[in-house]
Amino acid sequence: MRKLIALLLAMVLPQLYLSIVGLVNAVPEYIRIMQQWLLDFLADNPEIQTAVLPYYNSLALSVEQWLSSDMLPNLESVNSTLDWLKAEILPQLTGVVSSVSSGVVALALLLKDILIAIIVSVYLLARKDVFAAQSKKIVYSVFRTDVADLLVEETRSAYRILSGFINGKLVDSLIIGIIALVCCNLFRFPYPMLLAVIIGVTNIIPFFGPFIGAIPCALLILLVSPLKCLYFVIFIFVLQQFDGNILGPKILGDSTGLSSFWVLFSILFFGGLWGFVGMIVAVPLTAVVFDLFSKFQCHFLRKKNLPQDTDDYMDLEKIDADSGRFIRQK
């Protein structure tokens, strides 16, 4: 498995680097193409040009008035210019520098956290059997044997749900990334490796992942060719339908036991709490909580000698307290 991952990284990273470098070098040319396309579009559509022209003239007039009323008086003398720079420009530059510095610091902290997480994960995986045995030892020393058995069993169940979903989603995203790479090369989309990596990584997020990844990819292709951008959007829609209805269910099955409503709710809730990471872990965490709640619910229903199947409570008006008979709505 490690050799396979190393081989994939060795194949992907150089191509990804070349795609990013090529994109950065081509940005000025893309801007020039977009400007020329806009000019040609306005020339071919005079009615749109007529509608846009008043807004353009209004903007130009506002800029001219600002230059004549605010900018030029401040340039009458060196002293007034320096005062204007101190009063107007320096505070804005200070804010820009502060924002850039905050972004750099946040990025450095994120990279540090990722590095620490990787190091801790390596140590945990290397000694996971010892940590598991120590945890069981603590649980059985603190709780009664029956309670400890229940805790250990629920921990195993949570681990099965989490690991099964995450591993299945990683395999699913890898396959989607490979399909995207092959199709991007077949359709001759620009920067196929970069597009495939973005699509594969964002596909880890359930439900919203394909659309989150499609937005930057579509904007990138739009700079090169609007027609290819349209083809790409259609391709993403077809790929998402294939993943959601065929590939995903085949790989994941019903590993979570959640309905579409709870999947959507969990992604929005945990995504709001923890951002991108929250959207990734939302579904398996909610599945674990749902599984625990279902088991407790069934436990109390058994104590009351009530059925545990949800269908038995459809159209239920009330339960007769004396006979325990279900009275249905008429």
| CA 120 – CA 307 distance, rounded (Å) | 46
Domain parsing of the chain, residue ranges: 141-255, 260-330
pLDDT by residue, tens only, the chain of 330 residues: 555 555 555 555 666 666 666 666 666 776 677 767 777 777 777 777 677 667 766 776 776 676 566 655 555 554 555 565 556 665 666 665 566 666 667 767 767 777 787 787 777 777 888 888 888 889 888 888 888 888 888 888 888 888 888 888 888 888 998 999 999 999 988 888 888 888 988 888 877 777 888 888 888 888 788 888 899 999 999 988 888 778 877 777 666 667 777 777 888 888 888 877 787 788 888 888 888 888 888 888 888 888 888 777 787 777 877 777 777 776
- The CA distances from residue 59 to 52, 54, 66, 97, 302, in Å, are 11, 9, 11, 28, 73
What is the phi-psi region of residue 257: left when phi exceeds 0, alpha when psi lies from -120 to 50, beta otherwise? left
pLDDT (tens digit per residue) in 158-185: 888 888 888 888 888 889 989 999 999 9
- Tell me the C-alpha to C-alpha distance, in Å, between residue 202 and each of 174, 199, 206, 241, 324: 11, 5, 9, 15, 51
pLDDT, tens digit, for every residue of 11-35?
A: 556 666 666 666 666 667 766 777 6
Residue 157 CA from chain centroid, whole number: 26
CA angle in degrees (0–180, nearest 5) for 243-282-155? 110
Instruction: Determine the residue type at 13.
Output: L
3-state secondary structure of 259: coil
